[in-house]
């Protein structure tokens, strides 16, 4: 497969390259793509060196698949150009997620919806992916009515500038800031920009994307918080179901779901944490317990590396599905 990675020099793009190598994706030709200022730079992949090329040159090369992680503006402008050239685009930005003509895909949940005609495929938001991974099998069994989620999100979700801000604050250095306030020894209830309804864009992504992927009738409300952590996003999730459940059955159902690892033993202090999730592709679920304040309601704690399953790994898994089913 001839693969372009658009945004290859960025944080997610670099992880995409690592995941492609780790999963031994059959790359016959790699086209690393980035902005004009990065053209000509060299990157390493699978023991070889490649020069970064421009978007124009990448479109002209007509790769089989283009993995996009270069921001919404770039995706809106360039994804259709790749698609017109016959390339299948898997886009990690928010540009196409809520477009009714585009599929929003988590392979373990809805990859079977994909066809050869889907030339632009949207990768969901990182915080959405890890939540729906656990929600989807439980919804299928018990019928989810309402979800209340609070997120505790890694600074890597913001990008390199945020990582530098935290490192500078650790070192007592004043420099450019990614956030309106310090992040070291702090928690900011402010992920992305605020919308007119008082929720942030990140919070509304959780609402809209969950409904598009799992079920439009599930009521979802979210609070997204940025914390000084690097390894991954954590979520406290409360789900009210139509039908009652048994906790052991819930644990078994989650354990049997590909891509999920249950870590849930209070006796041994076993529960998911970003420190353990970093660098891993699974979604980790623990603190599974009843909400004793109302019937048919479950509490869970969900953690995943937001650069992996929350972005790069999910995109590569989509590419694997397309290749396996000869859709590209």
Exactly one of 126, 190, 217, 325 is catalytic; name it. 126
- How far apart are alpha carbons 66 and 119 in whole angstroms? 10
CA distances from residue 7 to 27, 78, 200, 205 in whole angstroms, order as listed: 17, 12, 25, 22
Longest dimension (CA), the chain: 60
With a CB cutoff of 8 Å and minimum separation 6, the contacts of 82 are 4, 58, 59, 63, 66, 89
With a CB cutoff of 8 Å and minimum separation 6, the contacts of 15 are 307, 308, 311, 312
CA distances from residue 26 to 12, 21, 29, 59 in whole angstroms, order as listed: 20, 9, 9, 20
126 is catalytic: yes
Exactly one of 190, 191, 217, 233 is catalytic; name it. 233
Q: 181 is written with which tokens?
A: 């306030």
* Active site amino acids: 126, 233
């Amino acid at each position: 497969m001839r693969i372009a990675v658009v945004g290859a020099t960025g944080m997610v793009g670099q992880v995409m390259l690592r995941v492609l190598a780790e999963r031994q994706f059959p790359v016959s030709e790699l086209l690393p793509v980035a902005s004009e200022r990065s053209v000509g730079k060299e990157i390493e992949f699978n023991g070889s060196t490649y020069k970064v090329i421009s978007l124009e040159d990448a479109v002209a090369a007509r790769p089989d698949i283009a993995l996009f992680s270069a921001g919404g503006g770039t995706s809106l402008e360039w994804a259709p150009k790749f698609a017109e050239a016959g390339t299948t685009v898997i886009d990690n930005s928010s540009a196409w997620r809520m477009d009714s003509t585009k599929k929003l895909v988590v392979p373990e949940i809805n990859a079977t919806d994909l066809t050869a005609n889907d030339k632009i495929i949207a990768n969901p938001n990182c915080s959405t992916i890890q939540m729906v991974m656990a929600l989807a099998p439980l919804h299928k069994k018990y019928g989810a009515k309402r979800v209340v989620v609070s997120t505790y999100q890694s600074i890597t979700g913001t990008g390199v500038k945020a990582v530098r801000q935290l490192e500078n604050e650790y070192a007592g250095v004043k420099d450019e800031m990614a956030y309106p306030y310090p992040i070291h020894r702090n928690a900011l209830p402010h992920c992305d920009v605020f919308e007119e309804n008082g929720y942030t864009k990140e919070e509304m992504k959780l609402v809209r994307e969950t409904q598009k992927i799992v079920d439009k009738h599930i009521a979802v409300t979210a609070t997204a918080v940025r914390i000084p952590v690097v390894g991954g996003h954590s979520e406290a999730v409360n789900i009210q179901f139509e039908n009652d459940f048994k906790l052991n059955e819930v644990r078994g159902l989650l354990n049997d779901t590909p891509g999920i690892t249950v870590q849930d033993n209070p006796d041994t202090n076993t529960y998911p944490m970003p420190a353990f999730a970093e660098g891993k592709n699974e979604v980790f679920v623990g603190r599974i317990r009843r909400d004793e304040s109302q019937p048919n309601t479950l509490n869970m704690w969900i953690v995943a590396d937001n650069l992996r399953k929350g972005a790069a790994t999910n995109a590569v898994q989509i590419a694997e599905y397309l290749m396996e089913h000869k859709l590209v």
